């Protein structure tokens, strides 16, 4: 028989007295209103793979849970304020492993020489890492070096959105200087961390190139990268956020253009060009007997009245011109308002709302254009709050855990958080690791969000299952799962300021004798946005981050005698899996 376990991770700030209530809250987590069933007939059935996951689901693999050595924990004695029922037989979706992805970039340095960082990333198990960067991808020449930079038809200056010019600032794949990441070291990064790649090719060159046929030249360059890659990479993106006025392709010098392109980018033009790229790249893949999938960029939300024309007509133009040529579609989402000093509640409320809204919108856009629903990848996501060090705080970690569950629940095939390391910028740093410029922290020190993803990727199962939550208010969010090795459990997230005690019952599950849990808490520094995380009382040895012995911290344990009860302090996250007989 399977030896199943119950693992509970509680991520919180400070413990408060639980709030009791006789009110029955609505189910805010999906699923049907099942009564509690005590039978132990475990007979799950997998649903068909959603079209929005598609071939990304081919990477699915059975998952086994390994729990560290336990230590006796304390079970709450107060009455439950909320109840959760988990139907382990009703599978919502098989979890695509690529939802745990991240982004590399070209200013991280030659990071494969950093053994501590390589260990952290390997432990994190992102499964997929994107390259070469975001907007820099559209000024990147994979085969260029500093001594022999861009091709002769790449101009020395580019046109900015306001019509001014500036140095092109090209980046090169064969640059081995210490401050950048060479392409071959990106491939080494993937090998050292057991990850696969997703690559964004240079679409901008098709716009600003000065040859007689810049689109063909850029597509040929992309095809050469496919040949050079030689089958290592299956997933390819054509350009990065090409609808944006911050991209190198947004506005070109028409006096230097020789194929009659308009000054400003449009979705229709990108869609036409996409087919040229796809044709060249697929032909190259066939030559090397490789299978590749090529994605097109869409805009993730309805355009506003103040948006410029390229955004207003982007999706319609791409879908009308590219049609069913793309193998998948790509969106980016940064959840919170740009450059706003967002509060804890504002940040955490976006975690479930945005993935659902974005998926619904993109599916509607695709269907309205008469195009088949394809796999959807969110190849960049994060928050963009500023002013209170939100991005480097434990709240960013709570948001990460809450978002990962929502990404799985809403059927994304791939998701890559932005990014592994960036720049401190007084705490407005979206990097998961300190690149070396954060005060009072060692280089490559993991930020709090690392620990939340580490425990999520370790202890969320390979199938998401339905559950029913009866809650006193809207603070609680739950995501439940099972492991192929036999365990069944849940993730419970308390986004609110009040403590809760949640009772947990399983349907159709032969429960065993024990359960286990971890507690993650924020520190007392920096108000609501502590830069520290504690795991079962063990904290960081430096001013920020968390305990670096995370893999060896003992799990709390208690006997499993009937209904489980668990304390949820404010701003807490829970992962739970039960012993199977």
Of the residues 399, 434, 459, the one at which a domain ends? 459
* Of residues 404, 405, 457, 396, the one with CA closest to residue 430: 396
Range of 375's domain? 97-459
Q: Is 2 within a domain?
A: no
H or E segment and range at residue 167:
strand 165-167
Q: Is 380 within a domain?
A: yes
Q: Is the pTM of this model over 0.95?
A: no
* Of residues 448, 567, 457, 560, the one with CA closest to residue 510: 560
- Residue 105 has phi, psi (to 5 degrees) of -150, 175
| pLDDT tens per residue, range 307-342 | 999 999 999 999 999 999 999 999 999 999 999 999
- 101 and 85, same structural domain? no
Q: What is the pLDDT of residue 30?
A: 37
- Residue 188: pLDDT band (50, 70, 90) is very high
Q: What is the pLDDT of residue 516?
A: 85
Look-up of token digits 């008469």: 370
Q: Is 264 within a domain?
A: yes
* Of residues 129, 109, 117, 51, the one with CA closest to residue 380: 129
Q: Is 464 within a domain?
A: no
Of 35-49, 167-181, 505-519, give the range with the top mean pLDDT: 167-181
Q: Is 322 within a domain?
A: yes
Rounded to whole angstroms, how far apart are CA atoms 293 and 221? 17
- 129 and 65, same structural domain? no
Of the residues 459, 489, 515, the one at which a domain ends? 459
How far is C-alpha 302 from the chain's CA centre? 22
Kindly report the CATH number assigned to the domain that includes residue 500.
Answer: 2.60.40.1180
Please say whether the dihedral angle defined by the alpha carbons of residues 568, 569, 575 and 580, taken in this order, is positive or negative: negative
Burial (CB count within 10 angstroms: exposed 0-12, middle 13-18, buried 19+), residue 163:
exposed
H or E segment and range at residue 464:
strand 463-470
Look-up of token digits 């350009």: 239
- 130 and 26, same structural domain? no
Rounded to whole angstroms, how far apart are CA atoms 187 and 134? 17
- 144 and 86, same structural domain? no
- 83 and 101, same structural domain? no
- 414 and 483, same structural domain? no
In the predicted model, is pLDDT for residue 33 greater than 90? no
Total number of domains in the chain: 2
Using CA atoms, how far residue 300 sits from 164, 271, 329, 425, 427, in Å, is 29, 16, 10, 27, 27
Kindly report the CATH number assigned to the domain that includes residue 265.
Answer: 3.20.20.80
| pLDDT tens per residue, range 239-283 | 999 999 999 999 999 999 999 999 999 999 999 999 999 999 999
Q: Is 371 within a domain?
A: yes
* Of residues 243, 238, 210, the one with CA closest to residue 225: 238
- 163 and 266, same structural domain? yes
Of the residues 429, 459, 489, the one at which a domain ends? 459
- 134 and 77, same structural domain? no
In the predicted model, is pLDDT for residue 150 greater than 90? no
How far is C-alpha 539 from the chain's CA centre? 25
- Residue 67: pLDDT band (50, 70, 90) is confident
In the predicted model, is pLDDT for residue 228 greater than 50? yes
Q: Is 467 within a domain?
A: no
- 258 and 282, same structural domain? yes
Q: Is 194 within a domain?
A: yes
Residues in contact with 207: Cβ distance below 8 Å, sequence separation at least 6, in sequence order: 214, 248, 249, 252, 261, 265
């Amino acid at each position: 028989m399977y030896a199943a376990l119950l693992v509970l991770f509680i991520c919180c700030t400070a413990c408060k007295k639980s709030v009791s209530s006789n009110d029955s809250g609505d189910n805010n987590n999906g699923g049907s209103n099942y009564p509690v069933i005590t039978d132990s007939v475990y007979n799950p059935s997998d649903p068909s793979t959603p079209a929005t996951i598609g071939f990304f689901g081919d990477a699915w693999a059975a998952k086994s849970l390994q729990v560290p050595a336990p230590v006796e924990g304390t079970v709450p004695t107060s009455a439950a304020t909320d109840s959760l029922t988990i139907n382990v037989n009703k599978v919502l979706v098989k979890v695509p492993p690529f939802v745990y992805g991240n982004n590399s970039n070209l200013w991280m340095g030659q990071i494969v020489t950093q053994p501590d960082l390589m260990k952290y990333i390997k432990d994190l198990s992102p499964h997929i890492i994107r390259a070469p960067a975001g907007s820099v991808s559209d000024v990147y020449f994979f085969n260029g070096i500093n001594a022999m930079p861009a091709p002769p038809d790449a101009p020395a200056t580019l046109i900015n959105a306001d019509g001014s010019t500036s140095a092109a600032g090209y980046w090169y794949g064969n640059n081995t200087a210490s401050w950048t990441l060479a392409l071959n070291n990106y491939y080494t990064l993937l090998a050292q961390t057991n990850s696969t790649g997703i690559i964004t090719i240079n679409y901008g060159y098709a716009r600003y190139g000065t040859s007689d046929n810049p689109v063909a030249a850029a597509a040929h360059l992309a095809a050469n990268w496919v040949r050079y890659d030689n089958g290592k990479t299956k997933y390819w993106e054509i350009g990065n956020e090409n609808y944006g006025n911050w991209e190198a392709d947004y506005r070109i010098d028409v006096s230097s253009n020789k194929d009659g392109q308009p000054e400003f980018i449009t979705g229709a033009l990108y869609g036409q060009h996409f087919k040229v790229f796809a044709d060249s790249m697929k032909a190259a893949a066939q030559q090397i007997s490789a299978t590749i999938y090529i994605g097109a960029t869409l805009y993730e939300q309805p355009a506003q009245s103040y948006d410029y024309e390229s955004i207003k007509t982007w999706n319609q133009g791409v879908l009308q011109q590219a049609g069913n040529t793309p193998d998948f579609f790509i969106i980016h989402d940064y959840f919170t308002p740009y450059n706003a000093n967002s509060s804890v509640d504002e940040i955490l409320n976006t975690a479930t709302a945005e993935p659902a809204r974005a998926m619904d919108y993109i599916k509607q856009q695709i269907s309205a254009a008469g195009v088949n629903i394809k796999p959807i990848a969110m190849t960049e996501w994060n928050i963009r709050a500023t002013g209170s060090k939100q991005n480097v705080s434990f709240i960013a970690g709570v948001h990460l855990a809450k978002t990962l569950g929502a990404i799985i629940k809403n059927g994304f095939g791939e998701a890559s958080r932005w990014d592994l390391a960036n720049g401190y910028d007084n705490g407005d740093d979206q990097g998961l690791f300190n690149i070396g410029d954060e005060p009072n922290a060692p280089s490559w020190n993991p930020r709090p969000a690392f620990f939340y993803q580490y425990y999520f990727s370790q202890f969320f199962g390979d199938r998401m299952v339905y559950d029913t939550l009866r809650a006193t208010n809207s603070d609680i969010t739950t995501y439940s799962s099972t492991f192929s090795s036999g365990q069944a459990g849940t993730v419970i997230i308390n986004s609110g300021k009040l403590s809760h005690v949640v009772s947990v019952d399983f349907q159709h599950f032969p429960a065993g004798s024990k359960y286990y849990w971890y507690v993650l808490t924020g520190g007392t520094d920096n108000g609501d946005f502590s830069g520290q995380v504690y795991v079962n009382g063990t904290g960081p040895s430096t001013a920020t981050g968390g305990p670096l012995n995370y893999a060896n911290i003992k799990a709390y344990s208690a006997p499993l005698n009937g209904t489980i009860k668990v304390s949820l302090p404010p701003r807490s996250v829970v992962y739970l899996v039960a012993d199977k007989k």
